[in-house]
Amino acid sequence: MAGLTFRELDLPGVVLVGSVPTPDERGSFGRTFDQAAFRERGLPVDVAQESVSRNLRTHTLRGLHGTLAAMPEAKYVSCTRGRIFDVVADARPGSPSFGRWISVELDDARDEQLFIPAGYLHGFQTLCEQTIVRYRMMVPFDPDAFEGAHYASPSLGIRWPAVPSIVSPRDLALPAL
């Protein structure tokens, strides 16, 4: 029977959730969500919204985004088409890991999703054309609560895979962390 794996990463509360597919002659079948298994590991299960980001070009960069103070937002992120370099940065004031970041590659072949707790910033860079990224958010998005940090914040020192091909004007205008 298809199952799930849960791997805690190097930032508190950030978890990589993987699907363990069952293969057969048709292909495979895997579970990507199991309410009881998620709850057992302390992960949220009440999803308020799901969104999709379609990215046309390789090295498109989105982020670093979050809703930190007004309405903290936890989310699950997965890559359903293509491949991304996904980054999570701790932006929680007073946190022992404030300013630290981690990265993982997510792609459409591994059926993994990254859980990002409230108080963290998130961004990604596409590693191929026609990349699709899905977000499942625990609270409804509030554009008035949007916060973020510039993807090239010197204090973070994120090593992106390539010079971005596209960054939105809003993301370019974000302050350094």
Q: Which of 59, 76, 122, 135 is catalytic?
A: 135
Q: Identify whether 150 is a catalytic site residue.
A: no
Q: Identify whether 151 is a catalytic site residue.
A: no
Query: Could you give the angle at the alpha carbon of 140 between the alpha carbons of 138 and 144, nearest 5°?
Result: 125
89 contacts: CB under 8 Å, gap ≥ 6: 64, 99, 100, 101, 120, 121, 122, 123, 149, 156, 158, 177
Q: Which of 65, 120, 150, 151 is catalytic?
A: 65
- C-alpha 112/C-alpha 127 separation (Å) is 16
- Write out the catalytic residue numbers: 65, 135
